[in-house]
Structure 1
């Protein structure tokens, strides 16, 4: 694909930009590990409709308890949070997670990160969670979802790795593919059409300025994360008032979710009910 894109970049950048857009609109399905499947098997499952998708919902614990809503990252799924469920149940939460549009066991068709953010917004409105835990680009979906619910007051947000700027993410893709600024402009226009936001404004600094205060925000990120640099977490922490940044070492972007280090942090930091 890279060779073809370089040719199209020179002769038909409009097509090159559209191809890249289509590629990032089709998340890859990652196979669940046995331990992730085991936790999902203990959940109550439900199918819901959203914009032509059939999405999978998973829940654990007493329905009358405060809700902990888990928001997975791009190309992630609900089972990724399997190690956290028992911690949340011990703290008397009703735990709710979804496979987002075109993710996990949900139905598959073209989507994008901003449609996932729209879905997250509906879940915040429906569940009124006391606690949200987000991973990776699920943090952006959570941020946008919170902004769509201006009257909602969140008690605690645990951020497990975070990007800072969507424009920087797009630039990293363009750099890897070796295509031109013209193709970048076309791709940016397609993204801005989806979001109704300038690409320059899709960053944690701009978004956090519009956010309602949250009682407790804890950001956990490893300096050895190969997907999202630790500097993204540092910049995000500076944008969220009273947030706490916890730095881990020698843990990857996905392994962090099942790490003993994160497990211990959450036991200490998540508020009891």
Structure 2
């Protein structure tokens, strides 16, 4: 959810120097003007990352493209494939619908319709309420609910990373879903805000002000974003890699242990992104979200 997550490789010298300068600035502002440092932290928190791995396109071919409008003259791009009960694909922070494209063909072959979308400021969708390249988990959840309202009650949802949080919030708030697959979920937003504070070097005054601003922006307490508090009866499959450097494996373990109807599947060496295109992971997720039944027609390029 934040562009300041742990890098997957050693930072370049320029990046190290920039981080050191930011830490020095935050250290001063935390003492003399915590409201200014909190505003800066909130801007960093809501700015999307720009690494290319999140722009991979795994779609088998283009589906039927449409647009769903949101309040405030916003809109999101939606793409669908196949027929039948809808299975929704929900990308993570800074991602887009094409990242989860490897799931499309097998889900359609299982007789379901796939619905994928780009959250505000993501992919091909227009800017969110905070402007281009900025968004929030609340806004991503709002988009999911609007797409579901247009395309129908989910037979299942497949979420990745922050898309797992988006999915869990929507289900917790009443969105019906027969089952959910959570790939590399983050367990607790509060822990993420603490990690950002450690990385940027600000202390309690800024942390309190930042949390207050974040809750005001979200319109709900930060504890509402804790997946371990959202445990419900919906069957869930949690898939997480032991070597995930963006969201630690322990997060997926915590989620699976907190949800009474959850099953944990562990992978080794796929990391945070390659897990979305691994044949074994795809097969397991599809088996879970679209149990075998007579196919309504395999995917074929049109």
Q: Taking structure 2 as the reference length, what is the TM-score of the superposition?
A: 0.81
Question: Counterpart in 1 of 2:108?
Answer: 89
Q: CA deviation at 1:72?
A: 0.7
Q: Tell me the equivalent position of 2:160.
A: 135
Are 1:178 and 2:197 counterparts? no
- Conserved 8 A contact 1:121-1:146: no
Matched residue SS, 2:215: helix
**SS of the counterpart of 2:263?**
strand
Aligned to 1:121: 145
* Structure 1 residues 184 and 220: CA distance shift in structure 2, 3 A: same
The offset of 1:153, in angstroms, is 3.5
Q: 1:169: which partner in 2?
A: 192
Q: CA deviation at 1:123?
A: 2.8
Task: Pick one of 65, 68, 71 that aligns with 1:48.
Answer: 68
Q: Which residue of 1 aligns with 2:81?
A: 60
Following TM superposition, by how much is the alpha carbon of 1:11 offset from its aligned partner in structure 2, in angstroms? 2.0
Cα distance 1:59–1:177, how it changes in 2: closer, same or farther (>3 A)?
same
Shift in CA distance, 192/56, structure 1 to aligned 2, threshold 3 Å: same
* RMSD between aligned residues: 2.1
**In 2, Cα distance between the equivalents of 1:21 and 1:265?**
37
Q: What's the CA shift for 1:33? A: 8.1
**Structure 1 spans left out of the alignment, 5+ residues:** none
- Correspondence for 2:42: 21
Q: Which moved further from structure 2: 111-120 or 247-256?
A: 111-120
The residue matched to 1:36 in structure 2 has which SS? coil
Question: Cα deviation per residue 1:108-137 (whole Å; 9 max; x = unaligned)?
Answer: 224311121222223334421101000001
**Paired position in structure 2 for 1:147:** 172
Does the 8 Å contact 2:156/2:178 carry over to 1?
yes
Task: Please give the TM-score of this superposition, normalised by the length of structure 1.
Answer: 0.89
Preserved CA contact (<8 Å) 2:189 2:225? yes
Contact 1:166 1:203 in 2 (8 A): yes
Counterpart of 1:246 in structure 2 is: 265
Aligned-pair distance for 1:30? 5.0
8 Å CA contact 1:71, 1:134 repeated in 2: yes
User: How many aligned residue pairs are there?
Assistant: 264
Q: Could you list the runs of 5+ residues in structure 2 that have no partner in the other structure?
A: 1-21, 294-302
Q: Which shifted more, 230-239 or 3-12? A: 3-12
* Displaced runs of 4 or more, over 6 A: 32-35
Q: Describe the superposition over 1:35-64 as per-residue Cα deviations: whole angstroms up to 9, x where unpaired.
A: 61654x5211112221332311111112xx
